[in-house]
Amino acid sequence: MDYSSINSVATNLGVTFANLKCYDMFELIETIRKTNVLRHPALPCLGRHYTINLLSGCPYECRYCYTQSFASHPGWGKIVFYYNTFDSLKKEIGRMRSRPRLVYFSTACEPFVAHDAILEQLYRVMELLLGHSISILISSKSRIPARFVDLFGRYREQVFVQVGLTTVEDRIRALIEPKAPSVGERLENLAALRENEIPFEVRADPIIPELTDTVENVRGLFAAVAERGAKGVVMSYVFVRNGNSSPLSLVRDGRFSFLDMASRLFTQTINNYCGDGIIRVADGEYRKNKYREFQGIGKEYGLSVELCGCKNSDVTEQCCHRSILAVVKEKNESSGQLRFWEEKK
């Protein structure tokens, strides 16, 4: 039985791969990191800050994932684990004249992969950063383990979490994110973060035209996250780039075909994405109209809806981390620390 079949059965039983240890889901390749741990990401909105990727590769095999087109991607079923990250980071911070104000987890991997060695290393890395008064911004589709929630609760003024979720329909989630945690587990993240007063928002990225951008789907998503205390949602549409053809195979019950949709809507190219990338996206007017619609629906549920300007430079100059970075800015200025954030003009 293949993983997609197992996941279908597991979903019906209320169990997902995230509930299980991932040892049988992928081959773990342990290696030494030879470069700096702290790197400036190519994302314009975070370029002045730092990111840490503890891994290369991911067990979830999301069909839209563009990192599979990277030369460093080890291929599905494999994860490269930099097991010396904590020791290297500790030395690196000790050498820095000016420590970073913010570190992002992560641009190219899922932080909370359910493997004991990975989670232990991640915990030590995050604890080290927080202990040095360094704020962390986390984007995750995983179930966040309780001990991490406890850690974040102790440093709640330094932690900001974006929970990835684009639908409350678990069968759609299983179609586009076949090995990822269930909708229910991610909604539980929101409840746990709210209970521990940890700042968070929902990252509805990527939205797929005619599959997850319908009024019915967006209303269901906004209602569910608002009920669990979310105040903001960040949204962006899916894009396709060379080396990532996986989305093209998405078909749902004869009612949706990504290839058919893309042939009609993906009529636009954006050059220089994250510096030198070229991506194919849905028509600009289509995205503009849908974003207005999303923002209108958001108001009905008391949600602010922000857009990702990195992936939609033709539509908006908004930053998909604007609200979180604004909080970081306010807290650092109020505590007398140096200003490190500037709002994108």
Per-residue pLDDT tens digits for 35-46? 999 998 877 667
Asked whether residue 340 is assigned to any structural domain, the reply reads no
Cα separation, 128 vs 137, in Å, equals: 14
Query: Is pLDDT at 8 greater than 60 in this prediction?
Result: no
Query: Is pLDDT at 208 greater than 50 in this prediction?
Result: yes
Q: What are phi and psi of 333, to 5 degrees?
A: -70, -40
Q: Which domain holds residue 330?
A: 3-334
Q: Please identify which residue in the block is written with the tokens 């820095």.
A: 96
Sorting pLDDT into bands at 50, 70 and 90, what band is 330? low
Task: Please report the sign of the dihedral spanned by the C-alpha atoms of residue 21, residue 23, residue 24, residue 27.
Answer: positive
Write the single-letter amino acid at 253.
D
Report how far apart, in Å, the C-alpha atoms of 34 and of each of 82, 88, 89, 318 are: 9, 9, 11, 35
Both tokens assigned to 274: 């994250």
Both tokens assigned to 76: 């599905």
Please name which of 133, 200, 208 lies closest in space to residue 161, comparing C-alpha atoms: 200
We report the CATH number of the domain holding residue 280 as 3.20.20.70
Least confident span in 43-47, 103-107, 118-122, 184-188: 43-47
Q: Determine contact, residues 142/113, Cβ cutoff 8 Å.
A: yes
Asked whether residue 197 is assigned to any structural domain, the reply reads yes
Sorting pLDDT into bands at 50, 70 and 90, what band is 19? very low
Q: pLDDT value at position 93?
A: 96
Asked whether residue 343 is assigned to any structural domain, the reply reads no
Q: pLDDT value at position 328?
A: 58
Q: Please identify which residue in the block is written with the tokens 């290696």.
A: 31
Number of domains in the chain: 1
Asked whether residue 344 is assigned to any structural domain, the reply reads no
Sorting pLDDT into bands at 50, 70 and 90, what band is 326? low
Cα separation, 72 vs 74, in Å, equals: 6
For residue 334, cis peptide bond before it (omega within 30 degrees of 0): no
Cα separation, 91 vs 88, in Å, equals: 5
**pTM of the entire predicted model:** 0.85
Q: What are phi and psi of 237, to 5 degrees?
A: -85, 155
Measure CA 337 to chain center. Answer: 28
Asked whether residue 341 is assigned to any structural domain, the reply reads no
Cα separation, 292 vs 223, in Å, equals: 18
Asked whether residue 102 is assigned to any structural domain, the reply reads yes
Sorting pLDDT into bands at 50, 70 and 90, what band is 242? confident
Q: Determine contact, residues 233/298, Cβ cutoff 8 Å.
A: yes
Q: Determine contact, residues 105/139, Cβ cutoff 8 Å.
A: yes
Q: Determine contact, residues 283/212, Cβ cutoff 8 Å.
A: no
Asked whether residue 178 is assigned to any structural domain, the reply reads yes
